Amino acid sequence: MNVEKVELRHLRALAAIGDEGTITDAARVVGISQPALSRTLDQLETRLGTRLVERTTRSLALTEAGQRLWEHAHRILHQVDDALRDVAGGSRPLRIGFAWASFGEHTVPLLRAWRQAHPGTPVQMHRHDDPESALYRGEVDAALVRTMPTAAGGSLNSAELYQERRLAAVPENHPLADGDTVTPADLADQPVVLCATAATTRAGLWPGDRRPHTFEVANVDEWLTVIATGDAVGVTAEGTGHSHPHPGIRYLPLRDAPPVTVRLIWPRTPTHPATRSFCDHARRMIDTPGRSRGAAERLSPRPAG
């Protein structure tokens, strides 16, 4: 293994191949010919002594090792770009990833207050289907999540910001839409649609003998459409009601259901110097009735799992 001979061009080639899914498209992104990109990949695999990409005449896929190095490559390349920008006297925005609802009703006042208090450090919100993976790849500096982060060798810090109520999402002409609240039991005999990228709800929300029929869709847009057309009902976090109002859907508070914890996660070694300050700012700004102050005031490294 000749690790010392691995160069940034090798990592850029693998990052582009993993992103684009074809040698042709990856070569165009990197700005070299297809044969040159193939040779670069061959060099990288030879120097590491392992297969990174499975190639056939019809398909291309990263191996398990290739997938791991693809994530590392993105993070390394972002760090190099940041270092060069810092030396050149420039700066970049703090990037916060989220899956679908950002900070809900708090988003606009929170970001406006940050801009006023920190005019030299802009914040950019980036939507990712999997913001935690985007964090590992270095595409964002922190991620806003509503599910428990997966373990990554204890490499993450995690701060609980606040808690949101759960909401039921029902078609506007549904019998339950005329009420003020609903319970999980009210939904047990309804088909319930789950969203793969907003995975705050699973069948375990209901007792084992009263679980509804559930099915999953790929994203929030499909989730909203299925509910609005009357094919199912949904359960989600309160932030969804603020970020995704829909004329065909009514959101109702879901009683007798545990709240959803909203967390900010970031690398143990921050990739932006303002990360901790932004987390403190968010905790000061957000004050909701369901907030657990003990959890909100606790900031600790995420344990390895």
CA torsion through residues 7, 11, 16, 22, sign: positive
15 φ, ψ (degrees, to nearest 5): -60, -45
Residues β-bridged to residue 254: 182
Length of the chain: 305
Share of the chain above pLDDT 90, in %: 56
Q: What is the pLDDT of residue 80?
A: 80
Which domain range does residue 117 map to? 94-163+260-301
- Looking at the structure, tell me whether residues 212 and 280 fall in a common domain: no
- Looking at the structure, tell me whether residues 174 and 151 fall in a common domain: no
Tokens 């300050």 label which residue?
277
Q: What is the pLDDT of residue 305?
A: 34
Choose the final residue of a domain: 57, 87, 117. 87
The CATH number for 264's domain is 3.40.190.10
- Looking at the structure, tell me whether residues 174 and 157 fall in a common domain: no
> 8-12, 29-33, 108-112, 202-206 — which one is most confidently predicted on average?
108-112
Choose the final residue of a domain: 65, 87, 109. 87
Q: What is the pLDDT of residue 291?
A: 41
CA torsion through residues 73, 74, 80, 81, sign: positive
- Looking at the structure, tell me whether residues 155 and 194 fall in a common domain: no
- Looking at the structure, tell me whether residues 188 and 65 fall in a common domain: no
Q: Would you say residue 86 has pLDDT above 80? A: no
- Looking at the structure, tell me whether residues 222 and 183 fall in a common domain: yes
Q: What is the pLDDT of residue 164?
A: 94
How confident is residue 148, by pLDDT bands cut at 50, 70 and 90?
confident
Q: What is the pLDDT of residue 299?
A: 33
Least confident span in 56-60, 176-180, 277-281? 56-60
- Looking at the structure, tell me whether residues 272 and 128 fall in a common domain: yes
- Looking at the structure, tell me whether residues 9 and 134 fall in a common domain: no
Compute the CA torsion angle 81, 84, 87, 92 (nearest 10 deg): -20
Q: Would you say residue 228 has pLDDT above 60? A: yes
Cα–Cα distance measured from residue 227 to residue 174, given in angstroms and rounded to the nearest whole number: 10
How confident is residue 89, by pLDDT bands cut at 50, 70 and 90?
low
- Looking at the structure, tell me whether residues 153 and 210 fall in a common domain: no
Give the pLDDT mean for 237-242. 94
- Looking at the structure, tell me whether residues 150 and 209 fall in a common domain: no
- Looking at the structure, tell me whether residues 8 and 139 fall in a common domain: no
Q: What is the pLDDT of residue 90?
A: 62
Share of the chain above pLDDT 70, in %: 90
- Looking at the structure, tell me whether residues 269 and 154 fall in a common domain: yes
The CATH number for 24's domain is 1.10.10.10
Choose the final residue of a domain: 87, 112, 140. 87
Instruction: Provide the domain count of the chain.
Output: 3
